[in-house]
Chain A
Amino acid sequence: MFASLTERLQTVFAAVRRETRLTPESVETALREIRLALLEADVNFKVVKAFIDRVRDRAVHRAVLESLTPAQQVVAIVRDELLTLLGDGPAGLTASRQRPQVVLLLGLQGAGKTTTTVKLARWLTGQGRHPLVVSTDVRRPAAIEQLGMLADEGGIRVHDPARDAAVVTRAAGAVEMARSMGFDVVLVDTAGRLHIDDDLMGELEALKTAVQPSDLLYVADAMTGQDAIKSAGEFNRRLGISGVVLTKMDGDARGGAALSVVSVVGVPVSFVGDGERLDDLQPFYADRLVSRMLGMGDVLSLVEKAEQVVSREDATRLEQKICGNDFTLQDMRDQLETVKRMGPIDRLVELIPGMGQMASRMPGEVDPHALVQTMAIIDSMTRRERVRYQVLDGSRRRRIARGSGTTVQDVNRMVKQFVEMRRMLKTVGAASRSRKKKGGRRRGIPMRPGVPVT
């Protein structure tokens, strides 16, 4: 199995950092590694080519080569270019005065259209909108029932004329119903189809003509490989895509398909689907994805996720701890407790800086058992030990192992991981401090209104 993009880039950049000056040759070495990593992340090879050329152009520039910290600048260029390519799609629909506003969800079979239709309806409800959903999938067995059941579960109204099996009239009927009953947006789920299926693509064109959508959202599976540019390109050519939703980001796909789709469709990703539940839809932030790709961990998402479970004061405290570099074992225990409450750990662990790598270095997967063990070890420590890990000498470690029913090796490993994590947090804390000072892209750590950022 190949290294993750994160790991690979970290290796590359660690290697580059060791050199005091970048030569055109060392730039080429780094570029080769970046090319490999992007290909393994499923970015289409044509997109990779263009990307590498852009990075090279900037990287071999004299100013970069002769600057004091050329390696860091290459990192910055890669990050910058990725950000430029990905863009930041505003999460939401196009601002349209059309009432009802009509949205079509399109894509290949199994991409996640039906689920996304209801997720999006719920998101819109949260924005104060009044959505109505309708299925036009008359082909896949029980597809109409699927949308109906999901909508019921999510408390969303459905238009479902029992005997109507015609795509256009189902959608048009929903628009009619919305108009008469005051729904201000109609979300039209469509059957999955192949971009080369001329008849079915024609059906979508007819549907588009009939209901005049303001938004055509292309739903793409984050696990897609090289084919992404062909399918997205063809949907775009025939229908004109206005937004992209990237689904199944809860897996460990590197998501390179996002780069491919965005560069062929020319519009940014607006939403990310990260789970099967109806609330698993998030606005897309390019810098988060890129940070994740570059292995910086995603403190921001973690903080937001934590916020849903812990009080605001707790979240702010965590943020201050991270920025102030005084994260203790007690804090780690609190966090693990929170993580336990937040749901499946494997989904969260990679959000914690440094933990993603640690997880992959641990034999097997991150199992809940390890979490419980870590908590047991910390529970067997004295207050002083929890706040100052430096006092943990051999005899203390032996006592803790006995107390927690583990071995000294377990304790050692846990402490080592903690130190590693602290080191990572220090870097991230420093980065987020300097971002705030410079008033960077996302204004420090984005929090919901009312949460103090400093």
Chain B
Amino acid sequence: MSFLERLRAGLRRTTDQLVGRFDRLDADPATRVGVGPAAATASLDTLDTLEEILIEADIGVSASRRLLDRVRDHTGDADLRSVVKHELRRLLEAPIPAPVRGGCPRVVLVVGVNGTGKTTTVGRLARLLALSGQQPVICAADTFRAAAVEQLQVWARRAEADFVRARPGADPAAVVFDAISAGKARGRDVVLVDTAGRVHTRTNLMSELDKIRRVAGRAVDGAPHETLLVLDATVGQNGLAQAQAFLEAVGVTGVVLTKLDGTAKGGIAVAITAELGVPIRYVGVGEQLDDLVPFSAAEYVEALFEPAW
């Protein structure tokens, strides 16, 4: 299965209902939109239904309104489906920040609230890197949660990556320093850092992350070169608050959206990209080693609205 197929297979279940409703809308001649002669025919009812569809996908009221406004103001005369797709794609197109220059190994920090899929993502990222010919070191900086280190060790074995751990309760920043030193000594390309889940409102835990950043920066130039926020696709509007808090505290450079193989659509990530300018980088579509896919806005939107499965 190609990545796109995998993503689509994962998204298929999530979109059945969405597509069904869309088809009904599309079949209705009154739903053609645009500022041309057709604009007047986009009825309020249609837009209400559309808003509901977007809200049900967790895109949220304000991002939905933004999208609907753009749909309403769309110039030209296209069918509703392609206009919505087009505008959704535009909302999702945030430039991926240029890779931070700096020393080797590159450091990727993986952060997020509890239970979103950080550890699994680190294992799968190691696999993706290995497939592209890079040699990752996995660093177990979750020294808090019970058996978090053991869990990650299993993933490191699966991904055949180096593994650096510390004793439970150790200072996470110290483990990160050790892992980077080990990476340097062994000439590895990337250090992937798994961190403990934390609720973004706990200021002391957020400053712990900041400390990790500072220590990493001292160990290698420009580190962390990337900071990925892992979001669970089932998350609702709180996802935006999470993104904002992690962005402020540790400068998130990208989002990983996990659990897209369920029925949740992860729409809040659209709002995150649209409002905070943080791009989605990867999506998780299952619990296996290969179930992490680089994100593509075009494919995501296509897969969401593709009618024939």
Partner-B contacts on A (CB < 8 A): 1-2, 36, 39-42, 45, 108-112, 139-143, 145-146, 148-150, 153, 194-196, 221, 223-228, 230-231, 248, 250-254, 256-257, 276, 344, 346-347, 365-368
Contact = CB atoms under 8 A, between A and B. Distances in A.
A227 B55 CA distance: 11
B151 A276 contact: no
Given A1-B244, A226-B264, 5 more contacts: A141-B150, A146-B151, A225-B236, A248-B113, A248-B114
Contacts of B244: 1
Residue picked from B117, B151, B154, most chain A C-beta under 10 Å = B151
Main secondary structure of the interface of A (DSSP, over half): loop
B199 interface: yes
Closest 9 CB pairs of A and B: A225-B236, A110-B115, A42-B236, A141-B154, A227-B264, A146-B147, A142-B150, A142-B151, A149-B146
Interface stretch (B81-89, B175-183, B200-208, B293-301): B200-208
A301 B154 CA distance: 41
Contact of B203 (A150, A226, A231, A365): A365
B204 A257 contact: no
B236 A253 contact: yes
Interface string B150-178: 11011100000000000000000000000
A42 B232 CA distance: 15
Contacts of A108: 234, 259, 262
B234 A221 contact: yes
B146 A146 contact: yes
Given A142-B154, A251-B113, A344-B203, A110 B232 contact: yes
B94 interface: no
Contact of B201 (A148, A252, A368): A252
B235 interface: yes
A231 B232 contact: no
18 contacts: A2-B237, A42-B237, A45-B52, A194-B263, A196-B13, A223-B113, A224-B234, A224-B235, A225-B58, A225-B267, A227-B265, A230-B263, A231-B234, A248-B114, A251-B113, A344-B203, A346-B201, A347-B202
B77 interface: no
Contact of A195 (B56, B232, B262): B262
B263 A231 contact: yes
Contacts of B265: 227
B237 A36 contact: no
B203 A221 contact: no
Given A109-B287, A231-B262, A253-B238, A40 B61 contact: yes
A140 B148 CA distance: 11
Contacts of B117: 109-110
A256 B263 contact: no
Residue picked from B201, B234, B267, B287, most chain A C-beta under 10 Å = B234
B55 A194 contact: no
A347 B201 contact: yes
